[in-house]
Amino acid sequence: MKKLGRDFFDRDTLEVARDLLGKYLVRMWDGTPLVGRITETEAYIGRCDKACHAYGYRRTPRTETLFAPPGTAYIYLIYGMYHCLNFVTEAEGEPAAVLLRGLEPAEGVTLMSLNRYSKLPGELTPYQKKHFLDGPGKLCKALALTRAQNGLDLCGEELFLLDSGEAPPPFRTGPRIGIDYAEEAVHFPWRFYV
């Protein structure tokens, strides 16, 4: 598999969000690779998107990472308890990112299961198996990602993406989830899912 470089992220955010589907996210944790195939993403573009944390180029301590070079991990906390992983896109200084919403586990499943549920994979209920990595907070918990990893270089050795060379999977588009406050941006079809 080929490791994705900065040029992959230094492009139009909507293109990156679509192109991430089928790629593999690797999180090196305690010397073990935790790997998942990306199945769902959402795009956020600060210059025009009221759902983006940096809408209108608003800079705060929380949003500063959105202005970093493309290929930077932007991880924030929501509801005081769930972490969300985003990949910064476009040119440095242009606040845009892709939120990772879903993964399909590929490697390191035992550690992911222990991180997520404190149970071995064979002890999970059918419900837990079905909803193992189908949400941004769930996948961050499984991959042991917190604000401590905010700002990581996605071209480094701790958190990175791989392209298997497979044909892109067929996907659907739709409105993003949980952004009822975002006025007209509520209807942008910027969610992409397998």
Q: Which among 152, 154, 160, 192 has a CA at the least distance from the CA of 176?
A: 192
**pLDDT tens, residue by residue, 78-124:** 888 899 999 999 999 999 999 999 999 999 999 999 999 999 999 99
More confident residue, 67 or 167: 67
Rounded to whole angstroms, the Cα distance separating 13 from 102 reads 17
Secondary structure of 32-87 as H, E, C letters = EEEEEEEEEEEEEECCCCCCCCCHHHCCCCCCHHHHCCCCEEEEEEECCCEEEEEE
- Go through the domains of the chain in sequence order and give each one's CATH number: 2-193 (3.10.300.10)
- C-alpha distances out from residue 121 to 17, 29, 112, 118, 165, Å: 30, 18, 9, 10, 29
**pLDDT tens, residue by residue, 12-40:** 999 999 999 999 999 999 899 999 999 99
**pLDDT tens, residue by residue, 126-155:** 999 999 999 999 999 999 999 999 999 999
142: tokens are: 């499984």
Rounded to whole angstroms, the Cα distance separating 128 from 1 reads 30
Unique residue bearing structure tokens 């180029």: 57
Give the pTM: 0.95
More confident residue, 194 or 168: 194
